Structure 1
Amino acid sequence: METWTLSLLLLSLHGAAAVIHSMKYFDTASSGLPNFPEYVIVGLVDELQIVHYDSNTRRAEPKQDWMIRVREEDPEYWKRQTELYFIYQQVSKDNIEEAKQRFNQTGGVHIYQRMGGCEWDDETNKVVRGFYQHGFDGEDFISFDMKTGTWIAPKQQAFISKHMWDQNKAQTAQINHYLTQICREWLKIFVKYGSSSLMRTELPLVSLLQKSPSSPVCCHATGFYPDRASLFWRKDGEELHEDVDHGEILHNHDGTFQMSVDLNLSSVPAEDWRRYECVFQLSGVEKNIVTRLDEAVIRTNAEKPNDMTINTTTIIIIIIIIAAVVVLVLAVGGFMAYKKRKDKDSQTNVKTPLNPSPPMSESGSECSSTEGVNSSKPLMS
């Protein structure tokens, strides 16, 4: 699901002062995958993980200290999340079996993914994007189109689900309400709780790396936050668009981010290197980090062969491992049932449900509740 990864890891800017905040819930159900939980669900706010549950621990756990405020305002919050996630763990088993049947598959490794959430503009107070998608074995399976209120099925095996869900107007209204209203209100609450962390800025360590004298020079920035950043090469003050290869923004284990951009110097004379420089820009920070191309500061595999702390090969391995984990864990929304809470939000005076994650897609016409589905039937049936 490469397109998901690309879209999920990019946040747009709206004007000079506005910030686009995001909330995403991802879950992954797997079969035939050793040493990995059969079910994992995570929630992210502004790409920072706030909750985790898996089939091994069977416990919903906060991943940020500031999420303690949820318990203070709702003592049953984490217990309720654990109970609901356990239900969806059971449903996920049926889901993946149903998917395997539709694709006429039996053994082997299979992964069923779901994702849901929204992006909110804190200046206009509007949802600029909502997403609610399903995938199987790394490819898009079915997704909800907010503009038309219908489901998009790129796979023939998803036509059954599309036909059923397009006819379910109550479910369509429920999902649309979540994407445009509920997700936004919970996102505003979480941003308020975690403002000291979510609104911080951290500058990166920028290094120039090169595998061999004939390889492209990699400008690598790591340890920055937030991910609203850009990294590019320029020559004589002008940004380059040719002979450059931009990498994706990737997560670091500490909640910060890393990215890289390669420059092909095969046709550049050595005396012209001084005309090139790598530029890192971070949203909210006026001063850029500029690293001039200088052979003396480039780290290569040839130097310090016994030093395994920083070299191009090590960086590439780290990036591959992190990317693999992100793609595997980035899964598709919590789809939890939600109820309406009596307490009003202090800022918006809008009632919010007990659970912030997206509602589950209904499995059939007999599941008619508009407050979520606790059925054990597969979502794809």
Structure 2
Amino acid sequence: MDMMFLLLLFCHVSSAEKHSLKYFVAGSSGVSDFPEFMGAAVFDGFLVGYCDSNTRKVETKQDWVEKLLENDTQQLQYYNHECFEYPPKVFKDRIHIFKQHFNQSGGVHVLQRMSGCEWDEETGEFNGFCQYGYDGEDFMAFDPKTSTWIALKPKAVTIKEKWNADKARAKHCEIYLTQLCPEWLKKSLDYGRMTLQRTELPSVSLLQKTPSSPVSCHATGFYPDRATMFWRKDGEELHEDVDHGEILPNNDGSFQRSVDLKLSSDTPEDWRRYDCVFHLSGVKDDIITKLDKAKIRTNWGKIIIRIEKDGSSNITIPITAAVVVFAVVLIAVIGFTVYKNNKAN
């Protein structure tokens, strides 16, 4: 799944009024143990399909996508064509051409393409897009209104002229972005509406690492990601001594968020004046959690593993847990020593 992360770096969840259907494609050269070609289809920020040159098959990631493709053979044929026929060979050839054009020999090189369309449900406006990147830099973009390619880097000008000379290819891109993609986006919305436009309320907990740590109001399992969360004191929203965490995705497609409150200057008797408010867009009633010391789940005396935003883990071992860890390690060392001595004898 690491390779998918490279394709979906700029993927985000769409708002209720705007919907998007995006295709991410990447070809690589000089990368060992990595597919030469891979592609992903993303609807409203959700991965719905994936393929690569190693597996040689289209994998659907949502149940409703399978039903859609069963009833729309044109889309299925398009995905098979994009995964196994035209783009894999073309991307390989283009990387070779680019290397020659830029006097590159050997090394690792990656060619990426993001294409698709967005639809504003309120205004009815569609916007198609197709953009290439080479070795991590924006390279070329297609304008469906003029049916021409635009160089995003000075070094791409020569290649742009060659691509614009291919009128048939430009016309194909224009039809795809202005006709096919909008049609498929609406079909995806019809099939996936029950799943993608659902509303799920979270479970809210009060957490505290140590008695002197901030109290964290943690909400998890909510959907969609359009949610606000804050601390109040005597009914007034707090802005000082409050740390708002970002909304992060869960593995099941739902979201989580935390808001920390520093209470160093307050006595435990004053805690009842605080509460945590969670509001989910489209839901009338808020979830209000009173600050109650008896309901705080503390991690003191336990091993705490916190996943940071960059994907790294920050492990904190309090003194009580550290003693246990040390004892386990000591027992393992003693056991290994006895084993070696017995074997030697």
Where on the TM-score scale, by shorter chain, does this alignment land: which range? 0.5 to 0.7
Deviations 1:223-278 (A, max 9, x none): 33334x1344344443749964553644x433x13354565849x63458766655
Partners of 2:232 and 2:277 within 8 A in 1: no
Over alpha carbons, which structure has the higher Rg?
Answer: 2
Residue 137 (structure 2) aligned to one of 136, 139, 151: 139
Please name the residue that 1:204 is paired with: 202
Runs (5+) with no aligned partner, structure 1:
14-18, 306-310, 323-381
Give how far 1:167 is off: 5.8
Gaps of 5+ in 2: 314-345
Q: How many residues align?
A: 303
Asked if 1:82 is matched to 2:80, the reply is yes
Which residue number corresponds to residue 54 of structure 2?
56
Taking structure 1 as reference, are residues 6 and 34 closer, same or farther at Cα in structure 2, changes over 3 Å only?
closer
Whether 1:9 aligns to 2:5 is no
Q: What is the CA-CA distance between 1:218 and the residue it aligns to?
A: 6.0
How do 1:241-280 and structure 2 match up within 5 A?
244=243, 246-247=245-246, 249-250=248-249, 252-254=250-252, 256-260=253-257, 263=260, 265=262, 269-271=265-267, 278-280=276-278
Query: Of the two structures, which has the highest relative contact order with CA contacts closer than 8 Å and spacing of 6 or more?
Result: 1
CA distance 1:34–1:205, shift in 2 (3 Å): farther
Q: Measured at CA, do residues 221 and 143 of structure 1 come closer, stay the same or move farther in structure 2, by a change above 3 Å?
A: farther
Contact 2:272–2:292 (8 Å) recurs in 1: yes
Could you give the per-residue CA deviations for residues 109-130 of structure 1, whole angstroms, max 9, x where no partner exists?
Answer: 4433211122223344332x43
* Mapping 1:311-326, distance limit 5 Å: 311=304, 313-316=305-308, 320=311
Contact 2:13/2:44 (8 A) holds in 1? no
Inter-partner Cα distance in structure 1 for 2:216 and 2:9: 20
Q: Which position in structure 1 is the counterpart of 2:343? A: none
> 1:211 and 1:140 mapped to 2: Cα distance?
44
- Cα distance between partner residues in 1 of 2:99 and 2:247: 31
The change in CA–CA distance for 1:243 and 1:74 in structure 2 (over 3 A counts) is closer
Letter aligned with residue 195 of structure 1: R
Corresponding residue of 1:230: 227
1:25-40 to 2 correspondences below 5 Å: 25-40=23-38
Structure 1 pair 171–81 and aligned structure 2 pair: CA distance change class (3 A): closer
Identity, % of aligned positions:
45
The Cα of 1:52 is off from its aligned counterpart by 1.6
Contact 1:60 1:78 in 2 (8 A): no
- SS class of match (1:233): strand
Q: Secondary structure at the match of 1:284?
A: coil
Structure with the higher helix share, 1 or 2: 2
CA shift in 2, pair 1:321/1:104, >3 Å: farther
SS at match of 2:307: helix
Alignment of 1:346-365 (within 5 A): none
In structure 2, the CA distance between the partners of 1:82 and 1:181, relative to structure 1 (3 Å rule), is closer
Residues 201, 156 of structure 1: alpha-carbon distance in 2 compared, 3 angstrom cutoff: same
Q: CA RMSD in A?
A: 4.2
Is 1:73 the counterpart of 2:76? The answer is: no
2:182 paired residue number:
184
Secondary structure in 2 matching 1:53: strand
Q: Show the counterpart of 1:112.
A: 111
TM-fit CA distance, 1:85: 1.4
Secondary structure of 2:224's aligned partner: coil
The 2-side partners of 1:105 and 1:301 are apart by 54
Q: Report the CA distance between 1:186 and its aligned residue.
A: 0.9
CA deviations 1:70-94 (Å, max 9, x no partner) are 4543558646632441122222223
- Which letter does structure 1 place at the counterpart of 2:59? E
Query: TM-score under structure 1 normalisation?
Result: 0.62
Distance 1:188 1:80 in 2: 17
